[in-house]
Chain A
Amino acid sequence: MLPLPVKFDQNEWFVILNCVLGYTWLLFVPKRYPRVISILVILFSVTVAIIMDHTIATPPLDLYDINDLKKYELTDVITYFMYSPYALLSVYLFDKLNPNGLYFTVYVIVWSLLAVCLEWLAIFFNVFKFHGWTLLYSFSFYLFVTTLHLKFFQFILRYSRET
């Protein structure tokens, strides 16, 4: 049902190393909030990626392909967890730095640019193959999603402290 990659090469390594190395920073930082918050943050990033990809990267829109096959393959499932370590890091630093006012906008722009850089690397390593989609579309999408992601984190953190 979920095919294996055609060839285990650069795109598979990129996805796996990103997931493994991405989470290592968690081992070296002190805990700042309950684990349920981190779980919701990870799920949020995976859910947004899945809704987006399964809506615009599948027929009839089919704006890009992920990994080796046109079909939905096993590496695609792992790819959805590639962004979660960065999502966790962004909210961890957000909680620590607490950027207010225009600094919030700057924070969103910086993280959106970092996400675009990660996506550019993913294209370089053949994880994504665009046909109809561009990095500029991604940037505008990341601006929206990063804001949503940070506000979601802010909301659940406040809610957990109030209840």
Chain B
Amino acid sequence: MAFSIFFSITVIMNISYAVSKKNLHLFEIMFVWMVVNIIHHNFMTVFALNMGMFDFGKYPSQYWTMALIRVFLIPLLIIWYLDKSLDGGSTYKKWTRLPVGISILVGIEYLANALNVYHFNQWKLWWSFAEWFVIFLLINYPWIWFRKLLRKEMG
């Protein structure tokens, strides 16, 4: 059931983003997708394997659901957020949208926990908010650097 739910969410999100007006260059989308994958996989493995805060599900369906979430759904949501942050408005306004973006990602994380995709061990809600805030920071600055380089090299 969890796989069907997350697969449906991922497909709906993908279609919606594909047909919406985009502010990001295709190379930026690829860059952010790969950087999110690298950072998020590292975070999850450190939390699960080194700190024992997560238990990954033992059944293949749980495992592939987790792979679907972290390879496609989470990067897509972050790409969408960064894309929307270019819509206009002040930097202050962009930063005020951040709690909304983070709350959505925390919601996905807790939904995955509720549907037994993985299990939290001694996990606290505010850690999720801190985790996603740090991930956003780690993605934001390389993305800005890449964006500048892209403009310089390709106009």
Contact = CB atoms under 8 A, between A and B. Distances in A.
- Indicate whether A and B interact: yes
Interface of A: 1-3, 34-36, 39-40, 43-44, 46-47, 50-51, 54-55, 58-61, 70-72, 77, 80, 156, 159-160, 163
B145 to A, nearest CB: 10
Ordered nearest first, which 3 A-B pairs have the shortest CB separation? A43-B34, A34-B153, A47-B34
B149 A35 contact: yes
B3 interface: no
Range of interface residues on B (Cβ < 8 Å): 20 to 34
Contacts of B37: 47, 50-51
5 contacts: A40-B27, A54-B41, A54-B42, A58-B49, A71-B49
Contacts of B58: 60
B150 interface: yes
A67 B41 CA distance: 18
B5 interface: no
Contacts, number: 76
Contact of A51 (B31, B41, B63, B150): B41
A43 B50 contact: no
Nearest to B26: A159
A34 B67 CA distance: 32
A60 B56 contact: yes
Contacts of B149: 35-36, 39
A123 B57 CA distance: 29
Contacts of B46: 1-2, 72
B42 A77 contact: yes
Contacts of B34: 40, 43-44, 46-47
B150 A36 contact: yes
Contacts of B44: 54
